[in-house]
């Protein structure tokens, strides 16, 4: 999903067998450099993902890159490669992750953080369901 849209509201959608390993940006849901997608960006009805089922995917569940103010709620990610809920650069702000569940997240190959190397294993011994490098987001 690229910027300059009038609205993005995904609700009660099943995504299966999506994403591609070894290809950046090929994720089931990818907000790519969308800027502010809430009231700060002039949206009276902010962008959101609600009640998605994302499973048996080959690269992440939800990736947010240079996008601010997105609501991700009641979303389940199951059997995926790489971090399921992922903020890409650490510059993302005001994104809210509420009542989501990530299960059976396995190491991926796109980034070092997906491969379970020291960047993540210093924190945990496994690939984690979420990678949120900025405290300016709500989990």
Lowest mean pLDDT among 63-77, 93-107, 115-129: 115-129
pTM, two decimals, is 0.86
pLDDT, averaged across the chain: 88
Assess contact for 26 and 59: CB atoms under 8 A: yes
Sheet-wide strand order for 76-81: 14-16, 53-57, 76-81, 101-106
pLDDT at 121 over 60: no
Question: Does residue 30 register a pLDDT over 80?
Answer: yes
What local confidence, expressed as pLDDT, does residue 135 receive?
Answer: 74
- Cα dihedral 88, 81, 24, 71 in deg (nearest 10): -40
């Amino acid at each position: 999903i690229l910027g300059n849209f009038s609205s993005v509201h995904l609700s009660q959608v099943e995504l299966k067998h999506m994403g591609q390993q070894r290809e950046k940006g090929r994720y089931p849901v990818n907000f790519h450099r969308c800027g502010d997608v809430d009231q700060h960006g002039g949206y009276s009805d902010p962008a959101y993902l609600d009640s998605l089922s994302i499973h048996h995917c080959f690269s992440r569940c939800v990736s947010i890159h240079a996008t601010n103010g997105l609501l991700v709620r009641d979303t389940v990610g199951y059997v995926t490669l790489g971090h399921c809920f992922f903020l890409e650069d650490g510059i993302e702000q005001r994104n809210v992750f509420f009542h989501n569940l990530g299960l059976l997240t396995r190491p991926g190959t796109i980034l070092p953080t997906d491969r379970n190397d020291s960047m993540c294993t210093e924190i945990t011994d496994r690939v984690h369901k979420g990678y949120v490098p900025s405290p300016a987001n709500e989990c």
